[in-house]
Amino acid sequence: MKVAVLAGDGIGPEITAQAVRVLAALATDGLALELVYGAVGGAGYDAAGDPLPAETLALCEQSDAILFGAVGAPRYDGLERALRPEQGLLRLRKHFDLFANLRPALVYPELAHASSLRPEVVAGLDLLILRELTSDIYFGKPRGIVVNEAGQREGFDTMRYNEGEIRRIAITAFEAARKRSRRVCSVDKANVLETTQLWRDVVTEVHADYPDVELSHMYVDNAAMQLVRNPRQFDVIVTGNMFGDILSDEASMLTGSIGMLPSASLNAAGFGLYEPIHGSAPDIAGKGVANPLGAILSAAMMLRYSLGQDAVATRVEDAVRAALRGGARTADIAREGEPTLSSEAMGDAVLAAL
């Protein structure tokens, strides 16, 4: 199995280095894993004048998965849009048709204090939000701002989904649920929007092939409320691009620190790009204090979803849990006065547990 490692900018290289140490340890332990390295984002621009150099894209095409750090830094802000670091990531998503965005939100008992909700509401939370990433009102045409017959400016967008787009994300949801607690909640607004009535119909049709997975439906307004009322009722939530955009940010904040959260973006073949949800954090870059757990947990997701290594993925996740249980804390997840570790020392703690 070959993995393209694209560390990027800012804290990207610092946190990715710790995920690579974990993968290297697994390789030493018998996992047939080859890591290849490419420049992306600002680092790609510096190396080849392009945030996604042709050489990097070729590396990704020859690999089974991409492990991504983060891109962006203030010094690239003056570049024209096509050369900005973020374009490297957007082009990778487009090139590989990464339509399924998986964002787990998990609260470790030791970190329940870091959530904005009461610990008893979030302790033990373990849900997966699956957001469709390449269609919906964000891409639907026609769209625009015109002057209407009354002489007023009028803005409009088009919410659109075809059944193929819905079917493939529904399949991803049911497959993901099979790797978890086998419950899918599909979120829509079928009481008001035709597009999401079709969404509900197609998800229900696909469900016929997954009798072992429980399916429920929920309106998006209720889902937004339930996420803060009783988030532990959910296992997998699947929804469209716009609703998913909003709900996944809401869910991620239930967990406390942005540095803890991994994500995956997958295509129909199961090829995926795996990255922590945070950015390049220029405010702490170069200090060696960033939390590497989001990156390490992204590597675990990669093992599970693209490399078919479920048991190894669980081993990595258990090692993260054990490190936290043992008191390992970077600054972002420490209580006031608690001793804090560098990124590398947190990597050491996970490796020791592994």
Q: Is 221 a catalytic residue?
A: yes
What is the C-alpha to C-alpha distance for residues 93 and 135, in angstroms, rounded to an integer?
Answer: 13
What is the C-alpha to C-alpha distance for residues 269 and 284, in angstroms, rounded to an integer?
Answer: 37
Is residue 101 a contact residue for ligand NAD (CB under 6 A)?
no
Q: Between 186 and 257, whose beta carbon lies closer to ligand NAD?
A: 257
SS (H, E, C) 131-173: EECCCHHHCCCCCEEEECCCCCEEEECCCCCCHHHHHHHHHHH
Q: Between 18 and 186, whose beta carbon lies closer to ligand NAD?
A: 18
What does DSSP say about strands 183-188 and 214-219: parallel, antiparallel, or unpaired?
A: parallel
Is residue 320 a contact residue for ligand NAD (CB under 6 A)?
no
Of 159, 148, 6, 160, which is closest to residue 68 (Cα–Cα)? 6
Is residue 248 a contact residue for ligand NAD (CB under 6 A)?
no
Phi and psi based region of residue 75 (left: phi greater than 0; alpha: psi -120 to 50; beta: remaining): alpha
What does DSSP say about strands 153-156 and 272-276: parallel, antiparallel, or unpaired?
A: unpaired
Q: Between 13 and 279, whose beta carbon lies closer to ligand NAD?
A: 279
Is residue 15 a contact residue for ligand NAD (CB under 6 A)?
yes
Please report, as residue ranges, which positions from 332 to 351 form the binding site for ligand NAD (by CB under 6 A).
332
Q: Is 332 a catalytic residue?
A: no
Q: Using the rule CB under 6 A, which residue among 71, 114, 130, 213 binds ligand NAD?
A: 71
Is residue 38 a contact residue for ligand NAD (CB under 6 A)?
no
Q: Quick one: tokens of 127?
A: 């849900």
**Residue from 221, 287, 310, 318 carrying the catalytic annotation:** 221
Is residue 244 a contact residue for ligand NAD (CB under 6 A)?
no
Q: Are 10 and 72 in contact (CB under 8 A)?
A: yes
**Residue from 45, 76, 188, 189 carrying the catalytic annotation:** 189
Q: Is 245 a catalytic residue?
A: yes
- For residue 54, the minimal CB distance to ligand NAD (Å) is 20
Is residue 282 a contact residue for ligand NAD (CB under 6 A)?
yes
- For residue 15, the minimal CB distance to ligand NAD (Å) is 6
What is the C-alpha to C-alpha distance for residues 14 and 287, in angstroms, rounded to an integer?
Answer: 9
Q: Is 189 a catalytic residue?
A: yes
**Residue from 37, 64, 138, 219 carrying the catalytic annotation:** 138
What is the C-alpha to C-alpha distance for residues 119 and 315, in angstroms, rounded to an integer?
Answer: 26
Q: Are 128 and 325 in contact (CB under 8 A)?
A: no
- For residue 260, the minimal CB distance to ligand NAD (Å) is 8
Residues of this chain that interact with ligand NAD (CB under 6 A) are 11, 15, 70-72, 86, 89, 258-259, 275, 278-284, 290-291, 294, 332
* Catalytic (active-site) positions: 138, 189, 221, 245, 249
